[in-house]
Structure 1
Amino acid sequence: MYDTLFLTRDDAGEPKEIVGYWIDITDLVESKGVHEAIFKYAVDGAILIDESSLIKSFSPAAEKLFGYTEKEVFGKNISMLMPQPFQEEHDGYVKRYLDTGKGRIIGVGPREVSALKKDGSVIPIDLVISEAIVGTERLFLGIVRDISERKQAHDDLLNIANYDQLTGLPNRTLFHERLRHAIARSERNETLIALFYIDLDRFKQINDSLGHDAGDQLLRLTAERLQSNTRKSDTVARLSGDEFAVILEDVDHISIVTKVAQKIVESLSRSATLNGREIHPGASIGVTLYPMDDKLPEDLMKDADMAMYRAKEMGGSQFQYYSQQLGASVQHRIELEFDLRSAIKKEEFVLHFQPQAELLNGRIIGAEALLRWNHPKLGLVSPATFVPVLEEMGLITDVGNWVLRESCRHLRAWRRLGFDHLKVSVNVSPKQFKSWEFLGTVQNVIRETGVPPNCIELEITESLVMDDPENAVYLLKSLHELGVEISIDDFGTGYSSLSNLKSLPFDTLKIDRAFIKELPDDTDSATICRTIIALADALNLKTVAEGVEKLTQLKFLKRNGCNSIQGFYFSKPTTHQEFEKLLLEGKCLSVSDRHGDIIEVE
């Protein structure tokens, strides 16, 4: 008598049932009927062999599994059902078991082994072997089960868990495991490792403009280009989104790392055709070295990420090595990004308003809305510090729309106090202007706040129009049809043509502070300002001079026909409460009619 119990699993590898076999070998041998019943109806294959490893019985289930009939295998060595090198090892294994009574398989099960079918294919099987003494003969019964489907399901799960399904590259989980192993090998062999952290440039823009299918094509193309520029022994992985990473092992010299990084930059910068459109992608790469920069996997990843940020800040399509100095700089940047996301949630952004005064009669005619960040520890932070970061983080559109809505809400409050003539000027970022939803946002703000459209002035830069003239013309005309006024900010510093000024629906030219600063002594600045004012007058456009800080500047602008000014001479940017106080107090420029002399600010 022998008995065997073993656990079976479903296709996903989960426990399913316990299978038991209790077979009296004596009856098996003595009773042909019982023998045939067991071998004929058992679900799993059953193979009976003697101590010389010769097959004595071969069940129908075994015939189906291996492709042999019982007649073909009877009396032959069981090793014929084994692939190499197990065939050569089998007889020695059986001999050792018979001599010592010790074995890795017999009496232990189930055990996964490989089996050789008649057609030459190799399949995985679960094998259980039990031993019994029948009379003077020692017999072994093997129970076999094909686990190909279960094995494939298990492999599929491993693939999903460890590989990116879009590109076929290792994912973040497998990448970190390989990085740990690479570090261990490097430590043993005293070799160098280079880690590349790669982020595609302009991927979001390509994805948004050409669609997700094009974005997926670009990701697959990136994977192919990375693999073609690295060795098979290197690891190329997709971490998430448009982020990739490469591990270079067994590096002899840093010059090799530089060469590979340069090759990858050039490869990822080559043009590509996606959905019939030619694009020019690029990538920013951060490079860190083990063991020079850091020792732990997580620290190396952080270092490479910092270096990648530096490459992106410097314009992209390049690589940068990590350094400790860079680490401190990028750490500050990371903290800034974290604080900015928190600022949005905690409503730490505030608006200040810089009054604009009319030179004809000195009264306040409006204000420019200026974004400020009231940091809980640093106080008011300059927009020059955080606005570029908002743009890179992709948050500038949401913040810009908030500025527009909040500005109009304050304007509505001032109009209710009787200041119906006021206008509010709001700066529009390039990304905000190019957003497909911007026109709808302006319409919604007008409807929500009830502010007359002609009391809203949107400030755009010259370069914004020139970057995409066709779409800019459409949007500007659509905004003008709503009644919204448009001004060109920092006029004279860009490259607007006279034809653009004539054909586009602009209402105001804002003279840049760079030309105001040296008035009236600098001849070139004076000439440029006179020309801009005369040009605006000829085109029936208004002019606003920015950065006016001196009485002499005011006198020059008044005498030459500038319409209005803003700057510290009249008022610094103020909170909305302080601006309202200026309105109620009637603050204005005291202007004499004779020769346009400005006497003082009241």
Structure 2
Amino acid sequence: MKMSFLSLPDWQRAARALLMVLLIGLSLAWLFSRADSISIEQHQDYSRQLLRLQQLDAELNASVLASRYDLYRNFDRSSQGVKDLLAITRTLTQLPDYLPLRDRQPLEEQVARLRQASLDKADAVDRFKRETAILRNSQSYFPLITDSLIRDGVLQPALSREVGIFGRSVMTFLLSDDPGRGERLRQEHDRLAGVAERLPPATAETLRILLSHAALILTHKPTLDAITHDILELPTHALGDTLGQRYAQAYNQALQKARRYRVLLFVVALGLGIYLVMAVARRRRLAAQLADANRELQERLEALHQAQAELKRYATVFTNAREGMVITDASAQIIAVNPAFTEITGYPLEQIAGATPAVLSSGRQDEHYYQKMWSALKERGQWQGEIWNRRRSGDIYPEWLSIAAVRDSEGETTHYIGIFSDVTERKEAEARIHHLAHHDALTGLPNRLLLQDRLGQAIREARRKGSQVGILFMDLDRFKWINDTLGHDAGDHLLRTITRRCLDVLRESDTLARLGGDEFVAILPGLQQAQDAGLVARKLLAAITQPCMLGNHELSVTCSIGIAVFPGDGTTDSLLLRNADAAMYRAKSEGRNGFQFYSTDMNTARLGELLLEHQLRGALERQELCLFYQPKVDARDGTLRSCEALLRWRHAEEGLLTPDRFLPAAEESGLIVPIGEWVIREACRQVRSWLDAGRQPVRVAVNLSGQQFAHQNIVQLVRDALQEYRLPPQLLELELTETILMRDIERTLVILGELCALGVSLAIDDFGTGYSSLAYLRQFQVHTLKIDRSFVNDIQEGANDAKIASAVIGLAHSLGLRVVAEGVETPLQQAFLANHACDYLQGYLFGKPEPADRFSERLQRSWVMA
């Protein structure tokens, strides 16, 4: 017979009640601990770390790209980015305590993969910094050494031009993605390395240093590009996304389990008491439900806001991107395009929606090409390459296309995203650059580089066929006189006319090239006998000597031609050109207007240049050197403001010689230094003479040579000259080229500062033709920029030279500098420069260089001090 609870003694009832309360308390405590095991602080902190990971990864990629393209000159951001990325991955290894064991292991594995990818990226960034430092070092020194070799005149002209072409090709390679260009440059590097073995030790060492920098550029640039690509392609971002998704799943499972325990706790608590207890439990349950609803609503609102912000960013990128974007479904039917797509192709969305990208096909790519593209998309999920498509207008254009497949969680492709850019302008620019690199800008003829290639081909073909090759080296007689007398426009017109006449004489298989100035070379392949070259030379002479109208003048120009024939006169292109050049000099010495075949004694003819140098050594003592003066006028009203002193040599036999005839010899022999000192003193003496004669004060500009600036105490020389002739320093202006200023920046800044302290005016001559940097231009204490005549010759509204001249004027004025345009020969040039606020003008339009006595008469007529 069972005993009821009420019939038990009081102590037993108390004991049972106490035991029941204890059990209920323990159960409630256990349930409460399980229900409240999730820490919101830990969850929020871990979620913030995941978001921080994605931000750090994106910032690191951006800093690497910025360093790669020299937007950042140091690696502080990249180093800090790597440090922060590794720190955040270490933090993520500490998973929240509330996660169940079965969920922790997959998360720990995912964190380990993320940690390893971050370490891989850190290693790649370290290699990136080393490679970038190496490349930047060579990239900085390479153009300076190239310029030093060329400007110092230590190389023979042909080798100097080859080094210049090689330098420009290497710098172009830095901006190129063409692997073939690197291979060609390595071949040219190896060839120049062989040439260096035959040079004097000092010159060879400089050339080897140049080639070592070039080798570093050719080696490390592709490596750096590959490392940059590896860094950007490392899956840290994707692994971070996956970790975030898996953590969210584990957190939701833990949250659901905690909720079940809370429900159970509520049920147990609900049955504990009577109405009061039930009322309290009901209130708690309602509060808990309300808190859960608020929390869930807050989470949904935050997720919605984040999704809306992300969609807005994506929409902004999609709408404003300059690249065309197209989105298709899994069957490649177009469902969306951005405005850039419509601008490039001409197709709006409403017209192309539902169609496939095949509507853009140009037919240039065959079926095999597209099969390879789709195969890559299926295997790797992405493809990129150059492709030719057709616009709505029917025009065919090249584009660089990248396609990525979008897959769902099960790996099934749901969409394709294509991003492309129109590369028409880039291809046209590449074609123009290639043409300019191999052709003369004035005549359109092949230049020396293309000439050597054509000559090499002709020699190889002649060896195969057993034929001969004729090389005709042509030089127009007294062309310099035409330039000096009639101006450069007349000279350019004459060169173009001679080019057309020669091309009319030559066969289609022949090659006519312009080496520079008035020098031309014709290659005649497939000759059966050497005398055939002489027949062609006679035809060329007859064509060249025909009268030509140059402005209002009808002139006949003669030509001297030297002939060398392969294989009798040489078996290499350089030897044949050198021998043809020697034969041309013999033709000139024999009275010009004729041709000569090469003979072995002709190379001695060049000894005449040594004779010129010998005569130049005594020119100062014999007082054969003199200064001519050319006016500089105010661009607004044509008033004479200052002048430039120009050196001339009154040669006893050859008459008045301009600097281009004898200064190269002076620079090679070192005579340029005493000649330059004489020019400064003579200019100061002449200005003093004008002042003593009652003439108005005029500032005179003197050109400084590179050797004079580098090896002479120019500051002391100028100070002594000013003191000797009691000349106010503001009446002396020194002109230096960009190349001179950039050779030794620190020394240049010191010398310019000391010259400014003397009170003399400083000008940068031939601005725009050298390697100067705008960053240094702000530091140079100069007062004037002179626009080179090459930008003034063809100046007109809308032309590139006009834009350059206008930009230089604006730049100079923004820096507080005066602007002088030289080479002004037409009223059109004067009007354009005046309208664009150029300060002063110099050129034949206002006066040719003239002796001091005639210039003194000009001073007496009109002058206003600037």
TM-score by length of 2: 0.35
Greater helix share, structure number: 2
TM-score by length of 1: 0.48
Greater strand share, structure number: 1
